[in-house]
Structure 1
Amino acid sequence: MSRATDAFEALSVAMQDNSPACKDDDRFISDDVPAATLAPICRTCSVYDLCAAFGELDRPKAGTWAGKRYKTNAKKRGDQ
């Protein structure tokens, strides 16, 4: 397993006992809501640290994770 997979597993297990602040809140999967708007909600979440760890390792292409969005950068990859 990868470190990102391990981090996601730890987050999933924690969410079984601790409801995340983003649960059932579609703003966290919307591209229309700035991550900076959601970040204060994330910082109060009981699974924030696990969510942040997963986000940093996996860099998910969708959604807001621990108050951040991870988008691919075409210029970094060399795409035009």
Structure 2
Amino acid sequence: MTKATDAFERLQFAMFTTDPACKDDDRFISDVVPAATLAPICRTCPVYDLCAAYGELDRPKAGIWAGKRYKTNTKKGN
């Protein structure tokens, strides 16, 4: 098991026992809403620390995790 997988499992368990601030809020999976707009909501979330830990380890390519959007390098080589 990777560290990212372990972090995700801890986050997932916490989300079963505690509602995250982003629950049922589609803005957190939108590609057009700036992360900075949603970051204040994230900071009030009871699973913020677990979400941040997972985000830093896995760097998800979609969604906003603990107030941050992880981008992939889209620069094309020659």
TM-score, with structure 1 as normaliser = 0.93
C-alpha deviation, 1:74, in angstroms: 2.8
Give runs of aligned pairs for residues 54-73 of structure 1, distance below 5 A.
54-73=54-73
Please list every run of at least 4 consecutive aligned residues from structure 1 whose deviation after the TM superposition is greater than 3 angstroms.
none
Give runs of aligned pairs for residues 1-80 of structure 1, distance below 5 A.
1-75=1-75, 79-80=76-77
Q: Which structure 2 segments of 5+ residues have no match? A: none
Q: Which structure 1 segments of 5+ residues have no match? A: none
Q: CA RMSD in A?
A: 0.8
**Hey, what's the Cα distance between the residues in 2 that align with 1:74 and 1:18?**
36
Residue by residue over 1:7-64, the C-alpha shift from the partner in whole angstroms, topping out at 9 and shown as x without a partner, is 0000000111110000100000001100000000000000000000000000000000
**Hey, what's the Cα distance between the residues in 1 that align with 2:51 and 2:24?**
16
TM-score, with structure 2 as normaliser = 0.95
C-alpha deviation, 1:73, in angstroms: 1.1
Number of aligned residue pairs:
77
**Hey, what's the Cα distance between the residues in 1 that align with 2:35 and 2:74?**
20
